[in-house]
Each structure stands twice: as structure tokens, then as C-alpha cells.
Amino acid sequence: MKTFTVAIDIAASPARVFDVMTDVERWCEWTASIKQVRRLDSGSFGLGSRALVRQPRFPPALWTVMDLQPGREFT
């Protein structure tokens, strides 16, 4: 099986990058593949958080945070 890896350097702290990535309702400001993201719950972003994601040429999708390592990653 072939594996591909892409890496980039970001001139920001990991905490700042995590803050930007978890501000899901602003994703459409910096990526053309996202038309709109609307959080479906209130409070801080975390395990179980849900969002309705709209992308060009795709039906709306419900995304749910299933795994969270605070300050590091989420799935």
C-alpha cells in the first residue's frame, strides 16, 4: 500500500492553531471547500459537539466530534 504524507510549517503556536481549527463556523473564511458551518450546540467546542457542514456540490452533512485531544486534535 502506498502512503502519502503532506507537511507544512505554520508560524503559530500549537495552541493558536487548535483555536483556529476548532472555530468551525469560520472555516468558510479561509477554505473554498466549505460554504458554511453552523454549530448545532452551544458552549465550548468538545467531544460530542455537532455542526451542519455545507460544501459546494454536496448535500449538507452532520459532523460530530467523536474524539478530542484538547489542544492537539479532534476527529
Residue with cell 468538545: 46
Q: Say if residue 1's pLDDT is above 90.
A: no
The domain total for the chain is 1
- Could you read off the pLDDT of 7-25 as tens digits, one per residue? 989 999 999 999 999 999 9
Is residue 25 situated within a structural domain? yes
Is residue 42 situated within a structural domain? yes
Amino acid at 8: I
* Dihedral angle sign, alpha carbons of residues 15, 21, 24, 30: positive
Per DSSP, the residues of 26-53 read GGGGT-TT-SEEEESS-SS--TT-EEEE
Amino acid at 37: V
- pTM here is 0.80
Residue 48: left (phi > 0), alpha (psi -120 to 50), or beta?
left
- Could you read off the pLDDT of 19-54 as tens digits, one per residue? 999 999 999 999 999 999 999 999 999 999 999 999
CB 18 within 8 A of CB 38: no
Is residue 6 situated within a structural domain? no
Is residue 9 situated within a structural domain? no
